[in-house]
Chains A and B, each alone.
Chain A
Amino acid sequence: MTARSAWLTGLRTTALAPWLLLTLWLAGLGLALPAAWVVHSTLRAAIAHTDVEGAMLAGFDTIWFGEFSAEATGVSATFDPTLSGAGGFLVNLESWFTGSLFDGFGGLIGAGAVFALFWAFLLGGTLSRVAFPERAMSASSFFHIGGEFLLRFIRLALISAIPYVLIYRLHLWLMERAEEALRESTTESAAIFYTLLIYGLTGLLLTAVQMSFGYAKVATVVDDRRSMFLAAVRGAGFVITRFPKVIALQGLTLAAGLIALLLYGLIAPGATIASWSGVVWTLLLAQLFLLAKLFLRVSLLAGQAALYRKFSPVVESGSDLTRAAAVSGAVPARLPTRFR
């Protein structure tokens, strides 16, 4: 199996499970909506009956924003016009690179953690669905599997926190070294070069960890692993042994994501939208982009599962009789202990 065929398999598998995407999308939307309502109410109260209404409708009122942001608290304090359109996605992407995700958006960390937990809950069923697309899966078994794997994935996440923390510390350390190296530099291009090098390295390391733990999750579900440490080792081992295919699959997904972001950036309506139909259209377009991102993310999982099943010893031995498969209706079976 090539990376391309794994990628296509992932896309196909994901396309055949629209309810899965909808569930994940609705989870995010459901969590963000109450917070957005708070922001909406705060904005509404702040501008109601004033001339700012008109300015905010026609574009944006920056002087009002200066007054507003000085007083805003909680989630409303995160409101910023530069978060609209592609800006918001770039802000999140930069936060991912630098680790500022955890200290930059105070009021939203709690909600983000809840979403991450919910994501972990859905991941078991999702992986089971995309790893075994040939098997039918009921809604109840989907959530049942999610419950089965939730604690394992939380344990896995705790293990993965170690490399993530180390990478962010390394990023910080490298930036400090770069500052020192650039002490006498007189060109911004040199600073950009060093910085992009560090960002590139950070991105590669983060991706490597993400890939390793991605395959660890796949292994956990496919092999019904209970030891998350061994699953992590297995994931890292798989990435190392199948590196070209693994990295190519990741690259294809990343490229598709960047193209989607570029397209969205080009067609996302600007700030001059001044009608409800325009607002709805803008929102729909953004949701389509979010769905596309989600689609790519799930298809990556599916592609990873396809690769893993193809090249892992368990699958090669013909045994797809995992716990997940069992829950989803397959014949129960046990894996050799050495694989757990």
Chain B
Amino acid sequence: MVTLSLVTATAPPEPLHESARNANYDIQVRLDVEQRMLIGSQTLEWTNITDRETDEMWFHLYWNGWRNDRSTWMKGDRIRDRSDLSGDVRESDWSWIEVDRIEWLGTETLDLTDESRFATPDDGNADDRTVLVVSLPNAVQPGETAQIRMEWRSKIPKTFARTGARGEYYFFAHWFPKLGVFEGERGWNCHQFHSTTEFFSDYGVYDVTMTVPESYELGATGRPLETTETADGQRSHRYHQADVHAFTWTTSPDYVVLERMFAREGLPTVAMRLMMQAEHLGQADRHFAATEAALESYGQWYGPYPYGHVTVVDPAWGSGAGGMEYPTLFTSGTRLFNPKGMDSPESVTIHEAGHQFWYGLVGNNEFEDAWIDEGFNTFSTIRTLETSFGPKVLSRRFVEPPGGGRGFFPLLFRDIELSRWDERRVRFRQSAESDIPDSHTFRYFPGTAGNISYSKTALWLATLERHLGWEVLQPILSTFFERYRYRHPDAADFIAVAEEVSGQDLSWFFDQVHYDHVAFDYAVHSISSVPAEPTGFIDGDPEPVYNEPEDDPDSGRWLSEVIVQRNGGGVFPVDVLLQFEDGEERRFQWDGSETWKAFTVTRESKLRRAVVDPDRVLMLDVNYSNNGRSVESRADLPAGKWSTRWLVWAQDLFTTFAYFI
């Protein structure tokens, strides 16, 4: 480990709002690198903040999701056609978590170890052991606080869903028995571990002591309080953090740690700690810049980041970590060759840093409403990228790594810029009608959770921005953020804020984009421009006379007709723009409710082009290619341009085939 620089952090500002702090943990854990085990004990102090009593406590045992291939996590993974179980899976790759002792710390200490059972509230899968229910000796009354002590052991997996070990790299998320959320009348909200969703917990104070080999660098949620050397060459790191809903940590001897301070006028300072892989040191500035961009943009748009510190983890290659959010700590992820223009590591860093706001501070139930944190954050990520970074360009990677995946060496096509919104639209289109976003996220049709949660939500937010204006959407989002910081909002909460702040009834919009799964697709069906004078017999005296107007664009008047069509079930008000050959334009507004509508104009110039939704307000339109139509086609040139390029490739391909003769 090499520490390149050390910046002394200033004292963290006090949180703007304290959370309920009703789930507080004191945890001691030791990493056994020889056995790849975690051995831990914890004392949980939980306060019932609802108006109902409970005589149970429900815990997540996440790591049992990777206990065997019968778990609900693994089943979900298979249904999604994911690859976690493909290839070379060995005994050492699996994991488990065993709770050896459970104690009730009341007026007297009671052993509850035998008072526990596994529960499967989501699917009744008897093989799933990711939810543990502990029966309590006494009901916990509203306002009362209970204390539970647990001892447990976990076998560390080869990295599944970002968690686990690879070489001497360790990353631990969802690693301890973690309390679900008691919702009063609705009981315990403690879903099984699903491969598409992960977290929902109450806010609290975490005091965690982690013991690891002396030579290992360590990063964790919160701030380090003290470090203690032990006699057996180990080192204990004590971290503390209040007002968060999870605790994650990582350790490895290979991290290179860099520190820098984020300081912007009007925003609290933030000590940024970057734990890099040595081979990525050349990209350290890009990681810091992206983190700063997120802290600045999100801070200005929604509200300040209150914790005063953040740790950015560059995960080890092959760890399957990628980008992921945890309180005051997130993983980024990059490649050795990542030239600017590919949006990496910028995009993932901004996104995960942004999750500190949407997930960390606004703590929606990610099992049920992942679209809130993922969608709002994806929208904000793209906005930040567009604001702070240059365009993204087309690229292709060559030379696949062993085991598959994207190639090592990128070739950039710098003159082909990619629209980040269009990339989202391409993904969304695949799942436009597959499921209703209001369903619980883990119940979405297999393989569509990402497209719905990330892309669809980001696109309807972008649509709202264009429809209402940023000057309306921004206050909606900042009000929602302010009101639900350290709380657990759902769809109804957001819609209520949106309608309150905008002063509009937006039910027509949310009924379609959230409570239904209709697709939006407006198109120009046909376009024509003919001489205004009729062809055929016209009024004459004493009898009708035959008329045949000249088809001369420079003389006479033209009758132009455009038929626009609504192909999808979704309805949205759109503009229809008619452009004429003399440069004039006519714009019409259409409420978009009929299945088709004709627009007719008679004027002295021939129609050149018609386009529906010319300003691309409806970002959810699944097919933009049919939005515009021209009277004359100019397709020969672009088709020629691209087919000749294809021709050259095919010629070379043929000579490559001939290589074998």
Contact = CB atoms under 8 A, between A and B. Distances in A.
Contact of B641 (A41, A105, A183, A279): A279
Nearest to B336: A188
Contacts of B88: 179-180, 183
B654 interface: yes
A116 B658 contact: yes
Contact of A186 (B277, B398, B656): B277
A294 B655 contact: yes
Contacts of A283: 644, 647-648
Nearest to A294: B655
B423 interface: yes
A57 B658 contact: no
A189 interface: yes
A192 B401 CA distance: 7
A186 B167 contact: yes
A307 to B, nearest CB: 20
A108 interface: yes
A161 B396 contact: no
A103 interface: no
Given A88-B649, A179-B88, A270-B414, A187 B657 contact: no
A119 interface: yes
Interface in A74-128: 75, 78-79, 81-96, 98, 101, 105, 108, 111-113, 115-117, 119-120, 123
Interface of A is mostly: helix
Contacts of B624: 51, 63-64
Nearest to B628: A51
B415 interface: yes
Q: Kindly state the interface size class of chain A when it binds its partner.
A: 35 or more
B167 A184 contact: yes
Interface string B246-277: 00000010100000000000000000000001
A21 B335 CA distance: 43
Interface string B233-252: 00000000000000000001
Interface in A176-213: 176, 178-180, 182-192, 194-196, 198-199, 210
A338 interface: no
Contact of A82 (B411, B611, B628): B411
B8 interface: no
Contacts of A198: 402
B638 A28 contact: no
A279 B661 contact: no
B641 A36 contact: no
Contacts of A111: 650, 654
Interface stretch (B74-82, B212-220, B581-589, B629-637): B629-637
B27 interface: no
Given A120-B661, A123-B661, A67 B623 contact: yes
A73 interface: no
Contacts of A287: 648
B600 interface: no
B655 A186 contact: no
A67 B166 CA distance: 39
B277 A187 contact: yes
Given A116-B660, A188-B335, A40 B415 contact: no
Given A28-B655, A192-B408, A270 B649 contact: no
B279 interface: yes
A186 B168 contact: yes
B319 A119 contact: no
5 contacts: A43-B642, A81-B413, A189-B336, A191-B317, A196-B399
User: Can you list the 4 inter-chain pairs with the closest CB atoms, starting with the nearest?
Assistant: A88-B649, A51-B628, A186-B316, A112-B657
Given A66-B429, A191-B408, 4 more contacts: A63-B419, A79-B646, A111-B654, A185-B318
Interface of A: 28-29, 31-33, 35-37, 39-41, 43-44, 46-54, 56-57, 59-64, 66-67, 75, 78-79, 81-96, 98, 101, 105, 108, 111-113, 115-117, 119-120, 123, 153-154, 157, 160-161, 164, 175-176, 178-180, 182-192, 194-196, 198-199, 210, 270-276, 278-279, 282-283, 286-287, 290, 293-294, 297
